Chain A
Amino acid sequence: MIGITGFGGYVPRLRLSRQAVAQANAWYAPHFAARKGTRSMVNWDEDSITMAVAAARDCLGAGEDRRHVRSVLLASGTLPFAERLNAGVVAGALTLDDDIDAIDLGGSQRAALSAVTQAVARVRAGGGDVLVLAAEARKTLAASAQELEYGDAAAALLIGQDKVLAEFLGAGTLSVDFVDHFRAAGEDIDYHWEERWVRDEGISKLVPRAVADALQQAGVAPAEVDHLIFPSSFAKMDAQLAKACGIRAEAVVDPLFAQIGDSGLPHALLVLAHLLERAEPGKVIVLAQFGSGAQALVFRTTDAVGSFRPSRGVHEWIARGAEERSYTKFLAFKGQLQLERGMRGEQDKKTALSTAWRHRTALLGLVAGRCEVTGSVHFPPSRLSYDQGKPLQDTQRPYKLADRPAKILSWSAEYLSYHPAPPHHYGQIDFEGGGRILMDFTDLDVGEVDAGSAMEMVFRIKDVDERRQFTRYFWKATPVRGAKA
C-alpha cells in the first residue's frame, strides 16, 4: 500500500486584518469595505523556503533519524531562487542525507498535486520515502482582490509504504493551456482574466473531468466521496464543483479562507493536512486544484490514520495567529513599501559562498559539535573544545540543536540598527543538554520574553543581499507557544 505516512503544515503567525486593509484603501477601493476575517502573511524573514522547512518539521517531528526520506519535492510558484536548488536549501535545513534527490517544481497552481503523483511513482519504483512540500508567499497589487484573498502558507506530506495513514487510490490530470492568470518569469505579480470566464469555461469544465478520471482510476463512485477539497477564492466554487461531479454537498471541506486566505499552490495539501488531523478511518478524500488544466487525487484513510500526530498541526498553527492591523507593515514585509532605513541600512550583506559551504551543516542544519569525551557542546563546532584549562582536540561529533528545548539566558531589544521589524531582539540561548548561541529572535513582541523564557528554533532568512539578490538563511529563536484556548 502506498500513501500518506505523515503530514504537516505551516501558517505564519501574522494574520492581516482584512478590515484594516479595506480601511487603509477605502479612499481608492471602497468596494472592499465589507471584507471580514484575516489572511496569513509572512514575517519579513519568511519565504517559501522557510515555510517549507517549517511544514516539513511539522510533518517529520523532532526525530534524529531522517534517513528514511530519500527524496524531497518542493512545489512553489514563489521560490526565492531561479538558479540554486531551493529544495536543496530545505534538505540542508532538515539535515537530510547528502545522497537524496531534491527537486523544485512549479509552473501552475496544481504543482503540489503533481508532486504527490510523482512521489507515488517514486515510492512505487522502490525509491524510499518522498517528502512532498508546497509553499507560497505571493505578492499582489495594493487594493486588489487578491491582496485580501490570498494568504501565505506551506504544507508537507510524507509519501511512503510504512504505516500508511491514507492510501493513494488514483489521480486524474488535464494539462491544457487555459490561462486564467499568468506571471512572466522575473515578474512578481499575477495578471488575471475575467472571473466569469474562468468559472464557466475553466473550472466548471476542466476540473470535473479531472475528478471523474481520478475517481474512475480509484474505483470510487462520486457518491462515496466523504471529503472534497477544492480551494478557490471564487464564492461557492467548491459547492458547484461537488454538484457537477455528483459529490454530496456535505462533503465540501472548509477551505480555511476566513483565517488564512487562499495560499494558492499549497492550499489543497494544507487543507488535507488539517482534515487528516481529525479524520476517521475509511474516509474517501478527493482533492483537486485548477491551473493550466486541473488535477485531482483520491485517498482513503486507513485504520492507522489516528496514530499519527504532526508536531503542531494546522489546527494549532491557525490558533497561534496574531492579528496584524498594520497595512504598511504588510506592504513593507512584501517588499512593496520603501521605508526610510537610515544609513545603518546601507550595510553590505554580501555572503562569502565558500565560507557558507565550509560551514554548511552548522549554518543550514544548526549542527553543533559535541565533545565525545566531556559531552560539552560547541556552536559553532571547532577543533579545540572550550573546556577551561584542558581543551581537547578533534573530539567533537555532529550534534543537532534545532529540535532541542532551549531558554533565554539574556536578551535585549534594540532600536539603534536598521531592522525590518524593529526592535531587533537577540540574546543568548541555552540549549537543554548543552550548547549556547547568541542569536536573533523572531515572531515576538517587546515584553513577551525574559531570562528563563522557553524558546524554540525556527529556520528563517538571516539577511537579504539586495545588491546581488542573494538570500542567506539561519536559525532564530522564537517563544514556545501553545495553542490559544
Chain B
Amino acid sequence: MAQGIKDKVAILGMGCSKFGERWDASPEDLMVEAYNEAMADAGIAPEQLGAAWYSTHMDDVGTGRGGTPMGIALRLPNIGITRVENFCAGGSEAVRAAAYAVAAGACDIALALGVEKLKDTGYGGLPMTTVGTYIPQWYPNAVAPANFAQLASAYRSRHGVDAALLKRAIAHVSVKSHANGAKNPKAHFQKAVSEETVLKAPIIAEPLGLFDCAGVSDGAAAVIVTTPEIARSLGKRDLVTFKALQVAVSNGWELQSNEWDGSYVHTARIAAQRAYAEAGITKPREQISMTEVHDCFSITELVTMEDLGLSDVGGAVKDVLDGVFDADGKIPCQIDGGLKCFGHPIGASGIRMLYEMYLQLQGRAGPRQLSSPTMGLTHNLGGQPSQNVCSVSIVGLEGA
C-alpha cells in the first residue's frame, strides 16, 4: 500500500504574475514575473534548485515545446527541466512531479512553473487546436464552451431541473466569483457583476452566456517545494504541506459506453475519493475550509461541488443558490475569483489555485483573507466532461 504524500512535502515559496490580457508581456516575461516572486518568497538562490517541471499547453501560440523555453527564460543553472502537458490540468501535474521528486529524495528543492500566452492569436476564446489525423474526420469541431455546456442539458435531464432555475444557479456561480475577483489585484477581471447582467449576456454555447465562461488570460504561476525539514532549516514557519495529490484520467468509458449519464465528471469523483483517502479526510464538508475548483464554465463548478462530495448529488443547485460556496458561506469557493475572474492561462491555472490556498493558509490573502482556514482543496480539470484529466490536490497547515 502506497504511503501517500501527506506532510512529506512543504511549499517553500510561491509566485504568480498578474493575469489578464498581458499585451505588454511575452510568455518569457510572465515566467520571470512568477519566478521572481516565488524565489524571493522562498529565499533561495537558483543554484539551490535541483530540478524543475514546466507546464504549458498551447505550445504553438506560446513558447514552443520542450523544457528549453523555461531554461532560457529563467537562465536556470542547467538543471533538468521537464515539460508537462496534460490539458488544463498541466499545472497541477507539474506540481505533482516536483513534489514526488522531493518526496523521493531525488532532489532537495524543486520548482514547478506554468505559463500560458493565449492572447497572441488575434481572436477571442481559446486558441484552436488540432487533434491528430483521425479525430477531425469524425469528431465535431468541438469548442470548450459547448463541450462543458453538455453538462447542463444532461444535468437538467438527470435531475429534472427546470432550465431557468439551472440558468439562475450557474449565474450565481459567476456573480460570486466576480465579487471575489473584485478583491484580487492580480485578477484578470476585478469588477463585480449583477445576476441580471449575467443572465442577459449573449449566448456562447446554449445555455452558457458570456459570463458563464472563464477568462482567457495570459499569466504564469510558480511554486517551489521541498521537505518540511529543509523548509524549517531555511527558517520557514507555519508550513503549508501537501496532504494529497491525485489525478484520474478517463479511459473512454464516459465517451463510448452508454452508462455515464453526462451530468457529472466521472474522474472528478474518483480523484476526490482518492485524495480524501490520501489526506485522511472522512468528512470533507467539515474538514475542507475552502476550494479552488476548475470553473472553466459556471456549470462545471456547479457539478464539481457534487463530484467533490461538498453537495449531495442533485443538491448543488440549492447549495449554490443558498450561498454555501460564497465568500461568507460554509465552504468558500474561488475566493481569488477562480478561473472565471482571476483568469485561465491554461498551463498556469493549477499552480494559481495552489497559490491562493497557500496565501490563505498563511494568512497573507489581504482583503479576501478567510478566517483561519486549515485545509484547502484544488480541483484542476483538463479536457472535457466526457474525456478528461482530473487533478484533486489537498494542502493544509502542517499537522492539520
Q: Which residues of B contact A411 (CB under 8 A)?
A: 150, 153, 206
In the assembled complex, A328 has its CB within 8 A of some CB on chain B: no
Q: Which residues of B contact A435 (CB under 8 A)?
A: 256, 258
Q: State the CA gap A380–B256 with chains docked (Å).
A: 8
The stretch that binds B, out of A238-246, A274-282, A341-349, is A341-349
B207 nearest in chain A by CB position: A412
Q: Which residues of A contact B262 (CB under 8 A)?
A: 409-410, 428, 451
A358 nearest in chain B by CB position: B134
Which residue of the partner chain, among B122, B143, B145, B255, contacts A438 with CB atoms under 8 Å?
Answer: B255
Q: A412-B146, A414-B145, A423-B206 given as contacts; is B136 within 8 A of A440 (CB)?
A: no
Q: Which residues of A contact B156 (CB under 8 A)?
A: 450-451
In the assembled complex, B44 has its CB within 8 A of some CB on chain A: no
Q: State the CA gap A430–B255 with chains docked (Å).
A: 10
Interface residues of A in 465-485 (CB under 8 A from B): 472, 474-475
Judge whether B123 and A376 touch: CB under 8 Å. Answer: no
Interface residues of B in 161-196 (CB under 8 A from A): none
B373-387 vs A, Cβ < 8 Å mask (1 yes, 0 no)? 000000000000010
Judge whether A413 and B206 touch: CB under 8 Å. Answer: yes
Most chain B beta carbons < 10 A, residue from A343, A431, A438: A438
Judge whether A414 and B128 touch: CB under 8 Å. Answer: no
Judge whether A344 and B128 touch: CB under 8 Å. Answer: yes
Which residue of the partner chain, among A363, A409, A415, contacts B138 with CB atoms under 8 Å?
Answer: A363
Interface residues of B in 193-208 (CB under 8 A from A): 202-208
Judge whether B205 and A380 touch: CB under 8 Å. Answer: no
Minimum CB–CB distance for A432 against chain B, Å: 9
**Dominant SS at the A interface?**
mixed
Judge whether B150 and A410 touch: CB under 8 Å. Answer: yes
Judge whether A436 and B255 touch: CB under 8 Å. Answer: yes
Most chain B beta carbons < 10 A, residue from A342, A424, A452: A424
Q: State the CA gap A288–B130 with chains docked (Å).
A: 50
Judge whether A416 and B205 touch: CB under 8 Å. Answer: yes
Most chain A beta carbons < 10 A, residue from B152, B206, B261: B206
In the assembled complex, B367 has its CB within 8 A of some CB on chain A: no
In the assembled complex, B137 has its CB within 8 A of some CB on chain A: yes
Judge whether A414 and B146 touch: CB under 8 Å. Answer: yes
Judge whether A424 and B157 touch: CB under 8 Å. Answer: no
B259 nearest in chain A by CB position: A388
Interface residues on A, range: 35 or more
Q: State the CA gap A386–B251 with chains docked (Å).
A: 7
Q: State the CA gap A452–B125 with chains docked (Å).
A: 30
Judge whether A410 and B122 touch: CB under 8 Å. Answer: no
Minimum CB–CB distance for A198 against chain B, Å: 45
Q: A343-B122, A416-B205, A436-B258 given as contacts; is B137 within 8 A of A355 (CB)?
A: yes
B154 nearest in chain A by CB position: A410
Judge whether B136 and A349 touch: CB under 8 Å. Answer: yes
Which residue of the partner chain, among A347, A382, A428, A472, contacts B137 with CB atoms under 8 Å?
Answer: A472
Judge whether A362 and B204 touch: CB under 8 Å. Answer: no
Q: State the CA gap A451–B141 with chains docked (Å).
A: 20
Q: Which residues of A contact B202 (CB under 8 A)?
A: 415
In the assembled complex, B235 has its CB within 8 A of some CB on chain A: no
Q: Which residues of A contact B157 (CB under 8 A)?
A: 409-410, 450-452
Judge whether B153 and A424 touch: CB under 8 Å. Answer: no
Q: A349-B136, A386-B252, A462-B138 given as contacts; is B145 within 8 A of A416 (CB)?
A: yes
Q: State the CA gap A415–B208 with chains docked (Å).
A: 11
Judge whether B133 and A352 touch: CB under 8 Å. Answer: yes
B253 nearest in chain A by CB position: A386
A408 nearest in chain B by CB position: B153
Interface residues of A in 432-471 (CB under 8 A from B): 434-440, 446, 450-452, 462-463
Q: Which residues of A contact B123 (CB under 8 A)?
A: 342-344
In the assembled complex, A378 has its CB within 8 A of some CB on chain B: yes
Q: Which residues of A contact B153 (CB under 8 A)?
A: 408, 410-412, 427, 450-451
In the assembled complex, B247 has its CB within 8 A of some CB on chain A: no
Judge whether A417 and B141 touch: CB under 8 Å. Answer: yes
Which residue of the partner chain, among B145, B150, B203, B253, contacts A388 with CB atoms under 8 Å?
Answer: B253
In the assembled complex, A329 has its CB within 8 A of some CB on chain B: no
Q: Which residues of A contact B154 (CB under 8 A)?
A: 409-410, 428, 451
Judge whether A424 and B140 touch: CB under 8 Å. Answer: yes
Interface residues of A in 347-375 (CB under 8 A from B): 347-349, 351-352, 354-356, 358-359, 362-363
Q: Which residues of B contact A343 (CB under 8 A)?
A: 121-123
Minimum CB–CB distance for B229 against chain A, Å: 40
Q: State the CA gap A323–B256 with chains docked (Å).
A: 37
Q: State the CA gap A380–B135 with chains docked (Å).
A: 10
In the assembled complex, A426 has its CB within 8 A of some CB on chain B: yes
Minimum CB–CB distance for A61 against chain B, Å: 25
Q: Which residues of A contact B143 (CB under 8 A)?
A: 414, 416-417, 424
Q: Which residues of B contact A359 (CB under 8 A)?
A: 134, 137
Q: Which residues of B contact A32 (CB under 8 A)?
A: none
Judge whether B386 and A438 touch: CB under 8 Å. Answer: yes
Interface residues of A in 391-435 (CB under 8 A from B): 408-417, 419, 423-424, 426-428, 430-431, 434-435
Judge whether B137 and A416 touch: CB under 8 Å. Answer: no
Q: A415-B203, A428-B386 given as contacts; is B151 within 8 A of A439 (CB)?
A: no
Q: Which residues of A contact B136 (CB under 8 A)?
A: 349, 351, 463
B234-270 vs A, Cβ < 8 Å mask (1 yes, 0 no)? 0000000000000000011101111001100000000
Q: Which residues of B contact A333 (CB under 8 A)?
A: none
Which residue of the partner chain, among A412, A430, A446, contacts B150 with CB atoms under 8 Å?
Answer: A412
Q: State the CA gap A352–B136 with chains docked (Å).
A: 10
Judge whether B150 and A355 touch: CB under 8 Å. Answer: no
Q: State the CA gap A351–B133 with chains docked (Å).
A: 7
In the assembled complex, B139 has its CB within 8 A of some CB on chain A: yes
Q: State the CA gap A356–B256 with chains docked (Å).
A: 20
In the assembled complex, A308 has its CB within 8 A of some CB on chain B: no
Which residue of the partner chain, among A376, A416, A431, contacts B125 with CB atoms under 8 Å?
Answer: A416
Q: Which residues of A contact B138 (CB under 8 A)?
A: 362-363, 380, 437, 439, 462, 474-475
Q: A359-B137, A363-B138, A451-B157 given as contacts; is B257 within 8 A of A436 (CB)?
A: yes
In the assembled complex, B142 has its CB within 8 A of some CB on chain A: yes
In the assembled complex, A178 has its CB within 8 A of some CB on chain B: no
Judge whether B258 and A413 touch: CB under 8 Å. Answer: no
Judge whether A356 and B137 touch: CB under 8 Å. Answer: yes
A216-246 vs B, Cβ < 8 Å mask (1 yes, 0 no)? 0000000000000000000000000000000
Q: Which residues of A contact B149 (CB under 8 A)?
A: 412, 414
Report, nearest first, the 3 A-B pairs whose CB atoms are least far apart.
A352-B133, A451-B157, A412-B149
Between-chain CB contacts (< 8 Å), 13 pairs: A344-B123, A347-B128, A351-B137, A379-B256, A411-B206, A412-B147, A415-B205, A423-B205, A438-B142, A438-B255, A450-B157, A463-B141, A472-B137
Q: Which residues of B contact A (CB under 8 A)?
A: 121-123, 125, 128, 130, 133-134, 136-143, 145-147, 149-154, 156-157, 202-208, 251-253, 255-258, 261-262, 386
Given A409-B154, A410-B151, A423-B205, 17 extra CB contacts under 8 A: A343-B121, A363-B137, A388-B251, A410-B262, A411-B153, A412-B205, A413-B205, A414-B149, A414-B205, A417-B128, A428-B150, A435-B258, A436-B257, A451-B156, A451-B157, A451-B262, A462-B137
Q: Which residues of A contact B (CB under 8 A)?
A: 342-344, 347-349, 351-352, 354-356, 358-359, 362-363, 376, 378-380, 382, 386, 388, 408-417, 419, 423-424, 426-428, 430-431, 434-440, 446, 450-452, 462-463, 472, 474-475
